[in-house]
């Protein structure tokens, strides 16, 4: 693969991965306008984000087996088509309940891009290059929170919030064309893989029995839910509590997105000297420490608007290190069931993201505390799971060695 081909592949895979981040971030500045137009509250509109995350979680379990059975592109085309239709449905909605339903359908279609992109990385690149490839993908994905809310804020102010969903449909149609003409096919269809419920569940169970996958799916999935707590609460925190405009909120969101861009580049450098296992454990310690300062400072009123932005920025730098390394470590053991593994991992992450955003909405009390507390909780629980599971695996390994030595002596 030439350098130019490598760049094109990464760009298209990154674009596929950004379909859902754009759908999540681009309409955030429009929350007050949507609430006013649909005669509801911002906390009610927040549930359209939760329904989207639930849709992603459920949809990825569907696409995993489909990608393994029919190859990567056909299920991808079907999903993107559903996404485009649902995006137009969101633009035409006249009630918040309809918006919540359309967002669920939009997510079910859009998550095809996320699962297919992860599976294609494993198809196209060798195992020792996947962490670097995922780092570059994360870099492309990290640009979307810079662009999406800022563009969404200006579009909402100029053309209304409906225009955001029309733009999402158009962007996805362009990405679909790029997939068709420029992206390698990846793994071909495998007729031996059954889509009947029992074999599909057996494939998922096979994946879940792999200890390395299970450890990094759980720890990484919970830790990477922290940004969703921020996404769910940030519009209310900055636009209602700190009274920023739609455009200023977009710029705040873009500024914080630099945290992921910088740390993704740092991860690319760190991987030349350290393993993914070493990087992820240090990162979770770091995020837990910063999260404690973030919650304590918020509780005692230490932070104004700009100080809060700075602390969130520092906290979210860890996401550019946790996400690609957890993904690479989770998928590394697989060749045949890569699609199912990617689906399970992605589904769990989005389920945790949906849970985090739902808790922030449920605990809404007009302060910043619910948002920052859930952010801390995600990092802390992820760290505890990683430390505990690693210790259990080491204990079992050492016990097995003792039993083998004993049997030899006997």
Return the pLDDT at 73: 86
Q: What angle do CA 221, 224, 228 make, to 5 degrees?
A: 115
pTM value is 0.69
DSSP 348-409: HHHHHHHHHHHHHHHT--SSSHHHHHHHHHHHHHHHHHHHHHHHHHHHHHHHHHHHHHHHHH
Please tell me the predicted confidence (pLDDT) of residue 85: 96
CA neighbours within 13 Å on the CB side: how many for 341?
A: 31
Residue with tokens 């009610």: 44
| Residues recorded for the chain | 410
Structural domains of the chain, ranges and CATH numbers in brackets: 3-184+193-409 (1.20.1250.20)
In which element (H, E) is residue 65 found?
helix 42-70
Question: What are the pLDDT digits (tens) for 188-233?
Answer: 777 777 677 787 788 788 888 888 888 888 888 898 888 888 888 8
Give me 380's structure tokens: 């802390």
Sequence-separated (6 or more) residues with CB below 8 Å from residue 354: 50, 53, 54, 56, 57, 228
**Tell me, what's the pLDDT at 196?**
78
Residue 195 DSSP SS3: coil
Rounded CA gap, 51 and 95, in Å?
15
- pLDDT of the chain, 410 residues: tens digit per residue: 677 777 788 888 888 888 888 888 888 888 888 999 999 887 788 888 888 888 887 887 787 778 878 888 888 999 999 999 999 999 999 999 999 999 999 999 998 888 888 778 777 776 666 666 776 776 666 667 667 777 888 898 889 999 999 999 999 999 999 888 888 877 777 777 767 778 778 878 888 888 888 888 888 889 888 888 888 888 788 888 888 887 788 788 778 777 777 777 777 788 888 888 888 899 899 999 999 999 999 898 888 888 988 898 889 888 878 888 888 888 777 766 776 787 788 778 878 887 888 888 788 777 888 888 999 999 999 999 888 887 776 656 555 544 444 444 45
pLDDT at 402: 44
């Amino acid at each position: 693969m030439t350098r130019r081909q490598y760049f094109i592949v990464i760009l298209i895979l990154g674009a596929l991965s950004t379909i859902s981040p754009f759908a999540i971030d681009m309409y955030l500045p429009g929350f007050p306008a949507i609430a006013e137009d649909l005669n509801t509250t911002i906390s009610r509109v927040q549930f359209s984000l939760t329904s989207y995350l639930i849709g992603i979680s459920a949809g990825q379990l569907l696409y995993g087996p489909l990608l393994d059975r029919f190859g990567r592109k056909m299920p991808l085309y079907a999903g993107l088509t559903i996404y485009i239709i649902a995006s137009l449905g969101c633009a035409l909605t006249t009630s918040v309940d309809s918006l919540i339903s359309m967002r669920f359908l939009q997510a079910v279609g859009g998550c095809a891009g996320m699962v297919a992109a992860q599976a294609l990385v494993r198809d196209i690149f060798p195992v020792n290059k996947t962490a670097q490839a995922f780092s570059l993908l994360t870099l492309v994905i990290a640009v979307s929170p810079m662009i999406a809310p800022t563009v969404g804020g200006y579009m909402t102010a100029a053309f209304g919030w409906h225009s955001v969903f029309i733009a999402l449909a158009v962007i996805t149609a362009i990405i679909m064309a790029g997939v068709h003409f420029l992206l390698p096919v990846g793994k071909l269809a495998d007729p031996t893989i059954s889509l009947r419920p029992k074999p599909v569940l057996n494939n998922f169970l096979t994946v879940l029995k792999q200890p390395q996958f299970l450890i990094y799916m759980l720890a990484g999935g919970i830790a990477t839910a922290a940004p969703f707590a921020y996404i769910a609460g940030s519009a209310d925190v900055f636009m209602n509590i700190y009274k920023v405009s739609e455009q200023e909120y977009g710029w705040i969101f873009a500024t914080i997105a630099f945290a992921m861009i910088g740390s993704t580049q740092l991860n690319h450098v760190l991987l030349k000297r350290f393993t993914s296992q070493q990087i992820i454990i240090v990162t979770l310690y770091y995020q837990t420490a910063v999260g404690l300062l973030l919650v304590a400072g918020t509780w005692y009123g230490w932070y104004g608007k700009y100080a809060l932005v700075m602390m969130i920025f520092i906290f979210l730098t860890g996401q550019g290190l946790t996400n690609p390394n957890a993904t690479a470590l989770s998928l590394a053991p697989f060749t045949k069931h890569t699609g199912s593994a990617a689906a399970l991992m992605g589904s769990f992450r989005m389920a945790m993201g949906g849970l985090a955003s739902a808790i922030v909405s449920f605990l809404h009390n007009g302060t910043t505390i619910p948002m920052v507390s859930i952010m801390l909780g995600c990092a802390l629980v992820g760290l505890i799971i990683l430390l505990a599971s690693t210790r259990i695996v080491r204990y079992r390994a050492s016990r097995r060695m003792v039993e083998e030595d004993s049997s030899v002596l006997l």
